[in-house]
A and B are shown apart, each in its own frame.
Chain A
Amino acid sequence: EVQLVESGGGLVKPGGSLRLSCATSGFTFDNYIINWVRQAPGRGLEWVSSIGGGNRNIYYGDSVKGRFTISRDSAKKSLYLQMNSLRVEDTAIYYCAREGGSGRRYLDHWGQGTLVTVSS
């Protein structure tokens, strides 16, 4: 069974940093592109970032570019999101989501999310 489990969320002050993790199981980690997607309170889904196997093909949404860094660890089968210079508007539930593989770039498996709150 494919599983993705996020952790690392919490309360942080504006300007602060936080590192999210996404532990995966049930599939060949290196073969799949994995994404971070977030949902702010009362808002819709917003794609944040994606990363391919071997830490290649990394992309970011405009709202986080230059502040967030995505990475992955093949040995731990885990995905990370280092979030710096956090803003109040970064408050959201952050989901990791796996793509379908073999060029199928829709998001077929999602974690349950971790809540990040940026507030003074």
Chain B
Amino acid sequence: DILMTQSPSTLSASVGDRITITCRASQSISTWLAWYQRKPGTAPKLLIYKASILESGVPSRFSGSGSGTEFTLTISSLQPDDFATYYCQQYDSVLYTFGQGTKLEI
């Protein structure tokens, strides 16, 4: 199975900050990567797919980049609603795998 590793596990930031979360794959996955946001008590929400394509309705302050084995999720100016846990997921293999998550804290 393809192992996905996110860093950091926890990130403390303030409203207005620019933050970056990294996701690394144990083997090349081209750009077959998605990012999800999860808040307590709610279902995960798709933010970005194919490494850099913003899902419809997702604010433009979110962006993704990368290919092969290294990927990033950037939030350009944190808003109060952005404090959540973020997950990357590879779908290069039919056996999907998620990163362990990055909790974004105030």
Contacts and interface: CB of A to CB of B under 8 A. Distances in A.
Given A44-B87, A45-B87, A105-B91, A110 B44 contact: yes
A117 interface: no
Q: How large is the interface on B (under 10, 10 to 19, 20 to 34, 35 or more residues)?
A: 20 to 34
A71 interface: no
B95 A47 contact: yes
Q: Is the interface of B mostly helix, strand, loop or mixed?
A: loop
Interface string B1-36: 100000000000000000000000000000010101
A113 B55 contact: no
A20 to B, nearest CB: 15
Interface in B76-93: 87, 89, 91
A62 B93 CA distance: 14
A14 B97 CA distance: 26
A76 interface: no
Contacts of A50: 94, 96
B98 A107 contact: no
B98 A46 contact: yes
Contact of B89 (A59, A61, A107): A107
Given A44-B99, A47-B95, A105-B32, A95 B44 contact: yes
20 contacts: A37-B44, A37-B98, A44-B98, A44-B99, A44-B100, A45-B87, A45-B101, A47-B89, A47-B96, A50-B94, A50-B96, A57-B94, A59-B95, A61-B95, A95-B44, A106-B49, A108-B49, A110-B43, A112-B43, A113-B43
Given A44-B99, A47-B95, A111-B43, 11 more contacts: A44-B101, A45-B38, A47-B98, A50-B96, A57-B94, A59-B95, A62-B1, A95-B43, A105-B96, A107-B34, A107-B36
